[in-house]
Amino acid sequence: MNSWYSIRFARWIWSLVWNRRTAWIMVCLVSLITLYYQWENWRSARELAVVRQRMVERLGTDDPLTLMLPKVADEDNYFANPVFEAWLRVTQPERGQMKYTPPSNALLPPGFIQPEILDSADGEIERLDLDAWMKKRGGQGSEPAATVLARELGDGNGLLPKLAEGLNKPLSVIKPGPREALEAAGDNPWNAVIPNFHGLNDFQRQLGLHLRSAALAGDTAKTASTALIMLRISEGTARGGMIGCLVPLALHEISFDALHEALSHPAWTPESLGRLQVRLGQFDDLQQYQSAHGQEILGMFFQLAYWRSHRAEMAALFTSRSTQPWVWDRLVENFFNGGMVQGPVGWHDANVAFYADCMLEQLGPAGSEAWLTAGPRCEAVLMRSRAANSWPNPRRLLGAIAIPNVGNISETAAKNLFRRRCLIIACALEKHRLKNGGFPTSLEAVKEDLKLYTITDPARTGMPLEYRLEPAGYLLWSAGPDAKDDGGATDKDWLWRMQWAP
């Protein structure tokens, strides 16, 4: 009897709920949802097509593999060095995460007291404070501080000769590279992992200390090889994307500081200066930034688009287990996450289009002077992405989250390029000094030595860097961010001063 009454009650409820009006409402609701999905898919596909065309016009391709570093055979790769390979460790086997982990203070003897570097004004040489270092060690003694420092540093625990192996190889690419990482991840860009280098800035500073010390001591062989090692390591980390741009910028800055001091000491030969010039001239910091920015756009474009046809992987990423503390916040987050997984494909296309459009605006037009106007462009894009991220808009939120704050990276790259070109010129001027006993009154005297290199002002296309002979050396300068030559004025132009220490 209980079962019979339960069946009748269920039938009554069904007849109450399900009638022609309810059926009509459901049909209309399903039709509206279907129309909305089609509308979202149609308009988002149009947005994506427009942005894709813009991306092809600016970058020349929409294929992330086109700008990606090629595979490099070990016989051509400086990073195919037993020292680096011994430092490569697998840190997360389930994801294939790897990391280069050199020993702490790998190039310094145990208990070594590191000398400080004296601060300097913009453009001046930052020099080792050897007097303070000798006092920390307990007294001056009879030997010159430079001799003591060189002896204590030695050959970097035997590593410097090993790191000098392969300096003649044409390429320097950290292993494994982007293509190998993508293949290892089964072409899933979200699982492709490129190894990083633990403590790389500190390792580069140790190399810089060896370079400065060798130059102070007049050790020509060690000076030349250590300078090239620093440049090859810096170049090897330029693997594309924003991280692959920031790391070499920082490493080259450390290298250029050390080279600035090293070139002020008589530790060079015309041959070593020529090799240094060639190495410096084979890398363009501003072009590398623009290429890295382009790779960031293409890579994230590919990654976001990957979810379009891999909803299951997206569902795993957008877990329903919320970390929001309030019930309403959890409901909103779970609703949004579920919508991104089950919603229209067009939402994914719209996010990809929004991301790529903003990033292309940050990158700006082609040309070596685009960095001069990068600041306002980047600020406008950040305001746009913040507005899109202010509420859970499924057409914008993912794209807005993916947009990095590139800040003044392009200006930093331009200033690094200025310093690089100053070092190229400094090599030519030092060769002139070795031959003629002094620096020339104008760069005209070394134009033949510089004809193979681009040494123009990054702020003014086609215009040379300015040069002025001074009593203790010379001054090179760029017009700087305002592209206006102020005659080498401090805080207005970019300065690079050489005060030679005989």
Q: How far apart are CA 174 and CA 197, in angstroms?
A: 9
Model's pTM, two decimal places? 0.88
Q: Which of 14-18, 96-100, 351-355, 460-464 has the lowest mean pLDDT?
A: 14-18
**Structure confidence at residue 174 (pLDDT):** 87
Which comes out higher in pLDDT, residue 454 or 322?
Answer: 454
Instruction: Say which residue the tokens 């039938």 belong to.
Output: 11
**Greatest mean pLDDT range, 56-70, 112-126, 209-223, 485-499:** 209-223
Is 140's pLDDT higher than 80?
no
Confidence category of residue 320, pLDDT binned at 50, 70, 90: very low
Contact 197, 99 (CB under 8 A): yes
**Structure confidence at residue 175 (pLDDT):** 86
Confidence category of residue 70, pLDDT binned at 50, 70, 90: confident
Burial readout 338-348 (b: 16 or more C-beta within 10 A, e: otherwise): eebbebbbbbb
Is 336's pLDDT higher than 70?
no
Average pLDDT over residues 249-277: 97
Pairing of strands 494-499, 473-478: antiparallel
Is 155's pLDDT higher than 80?
yes
CA distances from 14 to 6, 22, 290 (A): 12, 11, 65
Q: How far apart are CA 477 and CA 488, in angstroms?
A: 6
**Greatest mean pLDDT range, 82-91, 246-255, 397-406:** 246-255
Question: pLDDT tens digit string along 393-432?
Answer: 888 877 888 888 887 899 999 999 999 999 999 999 999 9
